[in-house]
Structure 1
């Protein structure tokens, strides 16, 4: 009974295979395994059934792509003066060529660039005037016929340019359905991102959703793109003629726009050049524990971040700061001064002298602070001394670099 079931399943497999024009020579081998154990016969039949399932899934994907592209075929001719119509390429190749698309995608598993190579410095220059958003012609182009490989940088007559971020009027960019970038360009800190691509047709800016591409922002106000074959013809990647100004921006500037039509260079606001410096001293003697040393004699207080009444420095901006503080002691045993940041003891100026000797000790500390952080010095134990001219008990610091936290 089990052998009969195996034969029935094998017949079903052959029939299913025949519907997709598969080579069924492998299936027929199941009939020649009568002398084999039943588990081997079942294993072979199950293997064939799994292969059929995989092929059905692939065919389903192909059918979906074909269905998406079908509206293109039902359109009337674009222009009676156009040399080529929508239903064929110049060489007579079918419009969508769906099967070859899937073959290309299935066989493109290799990465064109080794890991760690920056595409900002390894790209192919793409300088084709007809890609400009103000270019129209009767002889249309289709990027589906291009053999895309790796990363590309757009140019216009030798000047850097970028893809449009808004809908482009049909019949521009040397093609019927211009392709534009959805979601905008990334920032440098975003690294490589994936963006959707849309094609304009039939008064629908995104009637044709093409295969997504990868984009990366590079230092120098330009972008590189990892272009792939569009899903339909005739469509092509556009170059926004309005973005030519971006190639003129300096390293300290960014290319910005409010309407995605008019672009301009603007200085980077994140590079704040704040000047914060202070230097103060305590002209007297300190003994035992003092929670906050009030440095009454202030020599420098640029930025007015140090309060001489309380002895507290308050960070006016977020950034990297460096502080220094010192003590002078002698013959009184261990003496400790601590730098306190936001209530935490972070660094110490320590000395331990016996007898008539005297020693000074200077300590420094560098850290990153948020805006509003407080810094002061506490005298924890021992004895320190100074006078109006010695400046041996001091406290100071500077902002080294503004940094967003």
Structure 2
């Protein structure tokens, strides 16, 4: 053993001095593995195996990190495409939570906003990004959503990009299944909230051969939809993701995704409804005596919005909103009472009254403000007395304006 130790020391010394030079082959022979005891060789093998395991674990961790970076990059691109709605998305496992737009920031900070966010599926859903669900995908192995344990709400993605269910019949053997499931009704508008829609499965040239269990759908701010899926009625049926609706994920807040054939989709800018202007002013150039059920004001000076009809003397509200009316009369009879009434939908609501105790001339003007629905009818009736006007005067008048238009 002393000789072996000396030989080992000599071998180490010669290698430390310079391995590039001439090396004593006898000294190197002492370090061959097969010349070592069995215990030493086993220890070396175990150490090598442990080293390989460490390297394998390191490689797996690096692969997982790369996959997470790719997923994060895809989700970041999705957030950028829907940045117009000001949403901030947070990924936790397979769930993505949206915290609302800047327009709703004040509402969400309030206690009512927090409670609304907790119960709103637009803020709590599961990302369903499975390429085999695309309408252009055909796979050898058929999938069945009846075996899936559906829980809560889901948002469809295709390679990290937002997508929607098809609203048209999908050919058989697409979407990775035998009978593709499509939405037989249109997607809802955002003001409709959560709606229930029927689902159909295509089979044997019948677009709705399978009437599957209905699902719930909601449109969220940012032009995307969330779905509350239910297990289909049988196999093999699976929910589809329409590849043609990829363009919808790029629509801005002031745009909506539209299509005539449910195949070619485009982003259409929403037109703001301008407030309608309604003003009218008319007069009666003559005399009125006694009872006149409806005064036909034949001299129309203003009629913006075309709400007043000179042939009937009736104003018909073109839109819903708040209106203000005025009507006047002129009388010159002593001791005679003269009344004009404003009539709305057959109800007498306001009066223009004059009563002259002695011989003179007097006029009376009355105003009235009210809320009217579209199509409401307004006119003036001469209930009693005597009113007068000439072709050049405007003493018997009727007019009105729309103050505030209601949606």
Q: How has the CA–CA distance of structure 1 residues 309 and 209 changed in structure 2, closer, same or farther, with 3 Å as cutoff?
A: closer
Corresponding residue to 1:150 among 149, 152, 155: 152
Matched, 1:363 2:374: no
Match of 2:373, SS state, is strand
Counterparts of residues 2-401 of structure 1 (less than 5 Å): 119=120, 121-130=122-131, 131-136=133-138, 142-156=144-158, 159-175=161-177, 177-186=179-188, 192-200=194-202, 209-217=211-219, 222-232=224-234, 235-247=237-249, 255-265=257-267, 275-282=277-284, 286=288, 288-308=290-310, 310-314=312-316, 317=318, 319-320=320-321, 322-327=323-328, 335-341=338-344, 344-351=346-353, 360-370=365-375, 375-382=378-385, 393-398=396-401, 401=405
Contact 1:298 1:308 in 2 (8 A): yes
Find the structure with the greater CA-based Rg.
2
Contact 2:328 2:363 in 1 (8 A): no
Unmatched segments (≥5 aa) in structure 2: 1-114
Structure 1 length-normalised TM: 0.53
Q: Which structure's residues are more often helix, by fraction?
A: 2
Contact 1:254 1:266 in 2 (8 A): yes
Structure 2 length-normalised TM: 0.53
In the TM superposition, what whole-angstrom CA distance separates every residue of 1:271-311 from its partner, at most 9, and x where no partner exists? 69754431223467655433333435433212444344653
In 2, Cα distance between equivalents of 1:201 and 1:308: 62
Q: How many correspondences in the alignment?
A: 286
In 2, Cα distance between equivalents of 1:197 and 1:281: 61
Q: How has the CA–CA distance of structure 1 residues 220 and 353 changed in structure 2, closer, same or farther, with 3 Å as cutoff?
A: farther
State which drifts further: 146-155 or 251-260.
251-260
Unmatched segments (≥5 aa) in structure 1: 1-113
In 1, Cα distance between equivalents of 2:406 and 2:350: 26
Contact 1:305 1:314 in 2 (8 A): yes
Q: How has the CA–CA distance of structure 1 residues 164 and 328 changed in structure 2, closer, same or farther, with 3 Å as cutoff?
A: same
